[in-house]
Structure 1
Amino acid sequence: MRTAVITLAAGRHQHLTFQHRGLAAGSRAPDQYVVVAMDDPELGAVVSGREPLAAVVDCPVTNGNLPLALARNLGAFRALQHGAELLVFLDVDCVPGEQLLERYRQAALDSEHRRSLLCGTVSYLPPPGPSGYRLDELDELAEPHPGRPAPAPGELSRSEDHTLFWSLSFAVTAETWYAVGGFCEEYEGYGGEDTDYGQRARVADVPLTWVGGAPAFHQYHPVSDPPVAHLQDILRNAETFHRRWGWWPMTDWLEAFAERGLAHRDPATGRWTLGPEPEHPHDNA
C-alpha cells in the first residue's frame, strides 16, 4: 500500500527537522513525504538532502490567516496524483513513533476498518533538555492525551463519536478521502476545521478507528490556555461551523474567553461576538 505522509508548516523548522528524523528511523519508510509550505519560502532548504526525500508544495497565504484546510487538501491532491493509496497526516510538531506508519498500514488493510478515519495516539512532550529530544526516549516522556482513547498495541477500536477527531495524527485510504470530500476551505486560521472534517465523515457514514501502537509525540512549544492569540480566528471559525452544522464547537475556549471579557454570546442572536458583554442601563440601577 503506497503511503504518503503529509505535513503543513509555516516556520517551526526545528520541529519539522525532528519529525523528518523520526520518519527516517521508522520501521517503514513512506513512499512520499509531502510538506506543504504556507508562505514559507525557506522550508525547502530545511528538508532537502535527507531521507525520506520531501516534496514541497507551496500554499499561498492571502490575508495573514494560515489556510490549514486548503493546505491539507493541496498536500492530499499532490500525494494522490503521485499514486498514494494511504494518506497519513501529521502535525508539524508531531514526531512519529517507530511503528506508526506500519500500524496505520495494517489498519488500512483490515477490511472492517479500512473505510475509517484511522487515529493514533498523541502524547504531549515536556520541554526538551539542552540537547533536545532523543527518539529512543520519547515513549518514556509522556502518556497519550487523556481525552482520547488509547488502545493497546495491535488493537483497533471503532468509535462513532466524531467530536473526538483531531488532525494531529490520522490516516485515510484514498477511497475514504474521496468519500469524505477533503477539508472545508471556508476555515482560515486556527481552530474548527478538523472538527468540521469529523462531521463531514459522520455524514458520509465514515467511522473513527483508534489505532493502538501508532503513537505520535507532540513536541513542546509555549501555548496560552485559552489560546487568546487566536481569538479572532476561533470566533470566525466557530461562526462558520455553527452555520454549517447548527451547534457551537470549541465551547470550552469560547466560555473561557467570555470569563476574561474577551468575547460574549449575544442573548438576542445566540452568536459569539468579540469583546465583553455590554452593560445594560438596569444593570447599575
Structure 2
Amino acid sequence: MRTAVITVASRARSEHLSRQRRVLAEVADDIVRVEAWLDESPPSDIPDAGTRTLHVPPGPRGLRVGEGRNRAAAAAVDAGAELLVFLDVDCLPGEELLTAYRSAARAHPEAILAGAVTYLASVQRPETAADLPFLIRPHRARPALPPRETRAATAAEYDLFWSLSFAVTPATWERIGGFHAGYEGYGAEDTDLAWTARAAGVEMRWVGGADAFHQWHPVSSPPWQHLDDILRNGATFHARWGSWPMGGWLDAFAAAGAIEQRDGVWVRTGA
C-alpha cells in the first residue's frame, strides 16, 4: 500500500521537524513524503530529494494548518498514494505506526483511523526509533488499544479526534472533503473535520499499535496567546454546527474574567 506521510511545518518547530525526519527515515520504507511550509516565506533548508515541499503562507488571521494539510494531501494523491498518514510536526512515528495504519486501512478502507499519542516529558529527547517503545504512555483522555486491535469510535468520541496522528484512504478523504478552509490560526479545525466525517457517515476507528510521540515544547494553560484565535475559530465552528468547541479553554478564560457570553456568543469582556 503506497503510503504518504504528510506534515505541516514552520521555523518555530524546525528542531522537532529535523528529529521527525531522522526517525521517519528509520521506520519508513518507500513512502511519499510531503511537507507543507506555513510560514510567510518558504523554507531555507531543502530536505532530501524524495520529499515534496509546498509553501502555504499564512492568511490574514494566522497560519493555515488545515489548508496546508489539504494541499499536501492533494499532492500525495497526485503522486500515487493509496494511504494518507497525517503526522503533526511535533510528533515522532513509532516503529509500527505505518504498519498498524496500513493493516487497519486494508480492513477498514472507508474509516478515518486514529492512533494513540504519547506526550513526552521535557527531559525525554529520543533520537532513534529504538528509543520509542520504552516511552509509550498514551494520553489518558483517549482510547489506547493493544497492537493489531481496532475499535469503532462512538458518536461522542468524535470529539476526541486529534490531527496529531491519523490516516485515511484517498477515497475516504474525498468523501470527507478535507479540512474546512474557514479556520486560520489556533483551534477548532480538528473537531470540525471529525464532525464533518460523522455527518457524512464516515466511521472513525481507534487503531492499536499506531503510536506517535509528541515532542515536548512549552505551553500555557489556558493558552492566552491564542485567545483571539479561539474566539474567532470557535465562532466559525458555532456557525457551522450550532455548538462551541474547546469548552475547557473557554470556561477557563471566562473564570479568569477575560471573556463572557452575549446572546450565545463568546466575546472579550468589555469589547
Matched with 2:9 is 9
CA RMSD of aligned residues (A): 1.6
| CA spacing shift, 1:66–1:30, aligned 2, 3 Å | farther
The structure-2 alpha-carbon separation of the partners of 1:140 and 1:40, relative to structure 1 and needing over 3 Å to count, comes to farther
| 1:134 is aligned to 2:127 | yes
Distance 2:143 2:61 in 1: 35
* Amino-acid identity (%): 47
- Which residue of the other structure, out of 85, 110, 117, is the alignment partner of 2:112? 117
CA distance in 2, matches of 1:142, 1:124: 9
Q: Which residue of 1 aligns with 2:265?
A: 271
Seen in structure 2, the aligned counterparts of structure 1 residues 20 and 5 have a Cα distance that, compared at 3 Å, is same
Read off the aligned partner of 1:147 and give its amino acid letter: A
Q: Which residue of 1 aligns with 2:63?
A: 66
Which ranges of structure 1 fall in alignment gaps of 5 or more residues?
A: 279-285
Q: What's the secondary structure of 2:45's corresponding residue?
A: helix
Alignment of 1:179-218 (within 5 A): 179-218=175-214
Deviation at 1:100, TM superposition (A): 0.5
Deviation of 1:82 after TM superposition, in Å, equals 1.1
Query: Secondary structure of 2:209's partner?
Result: coil
- Counterparts of 1:165 and 1:258 in 2: how far apart (Å)? 25
Structure 2 partner of 1:150: 144
Out of 166, 183, 186, the residue aligned to residue 170 of structure 1 is: 166
CA distance in 2, matches of 1:253, 1:124: 19
Query: How much does 1:138 deviate?
Result: 2.6
Secondary structure of 1:157 counterpart: strand
Report deviation, 1:275. 2.5
Q: 1:184 and 1:250 mapped to 2: Cα distance?
A: 17
TM value normalised by structure 2: 0.94
Q: Is contact 2:40-2:58 (8 Å) kept?
A: no
Residue 40 of structure 1 deviates from its aligned partner by: 5.7
Once the two structures are TM-superposed, the CA of residue 142 in structure 1 deviates from its matched residue by 4.8
**Which aligned segments of 4 or more residues in structure 1 are displaced greater than 6 angstroms?**
none
Larger CA Rg, structure 1 vs 2? 1
Q: Give the secondary structure class of the aligned counterpart of 1:74.
A: helix
Distance 1:44 1:77, change over 3 A: farther
Conservation of the 8 A alpha-carbon contact between 1:17 and 1:46: no
Q: Shift in Å at residue 140 of structure 1?
A: 2.6
SS of alignment partner, residue 6 of structure 2 = strand
Residues 265 and 272 in structure 1, CA contact (< 8 A), matched pair in contact too? yes
Change (3 A) 1:30 1:147: farther
The farther-off stretch of 13-22 and 58-67 is: 58-67
Query: Separation in 2 of the partners of 1:123 and 1:244?
Result: 31
- Whichever residue aligns with residue 121 of structure 1, its letter is A
Judging changes above 3 Å, is the alpha-carbon distance between structure 1 residues 255 and 48 closer, same or farther for their aligned structure 2 residues? same
Q: Which runs of 5 or more residues in structure 2 are unaligned?
A: none
Give the distance between the partners of 2:70 and 2:91, measured in 1 at CA. 19
Shift of 1:25: 1.1
**SS of the counterpart of 1:214?**
strand
Give the residue type in structure 1 aligned to 2:146. Answer: A
Match runs of 1:217-232 below 5 Å? 217-232=213-228
By how many angstroms is 1:44 displaced? 5.3
CA contact (8 A) 2:253 2:259 kept: yes
Give SS of 2:55's match: strand
